[in-house]
Structure 1
Amino acid sequence: MRKLVEYIAQSLVDDPAGVQVREVRNDRNALVLELHVAPDDFGKVIGRQGRVAKAMRTLMRAVGTREGRHTSLEIL
Structure 2
Amino acid sequence: MKALIESIVTALVDHPEDVVVNTQEEDEKIVYHLTVHENDVGKVIGKNGRIAKAIRTVVYAAKDDGDKRIYLDIM
Cα distance in 2 between the residues matched to 1:22 and 1:67: 21
Unaligned runs of 5+ in 1: none
Where is the helix percentage greater, Structure 1 or Structure 2?
1
* Alignment-derived partner of residue 36 in structure 2: 37
Identity %: 42
Q: TM-score, normalised by structure 2?
A: 0.90
Q: How much does 1:27 deviate?
A: 2.6
Q: How much does 1:63 deviate?
A: 1.7
Q: How much does 1:67 deviate?
A: 2.8
With a CA cutoff of 8 Å and minimum separation of 6, indicate the structure with the bigger relative contact order.
Answer: 2
Supply the AA of the counterpart residue of 1:75. Answer: I
Q: TM-score, normalised by structure 1?
A: 0.89
How many residue pairs are counted as aligned between the two chains?
74
Unaligned runs of 5+ in 2: none
Q: CA RMSD in A?
A: 1.1
Q: Which 4+ residue blocks in structure 1 deviate beyond 3 angstroms?
A: none
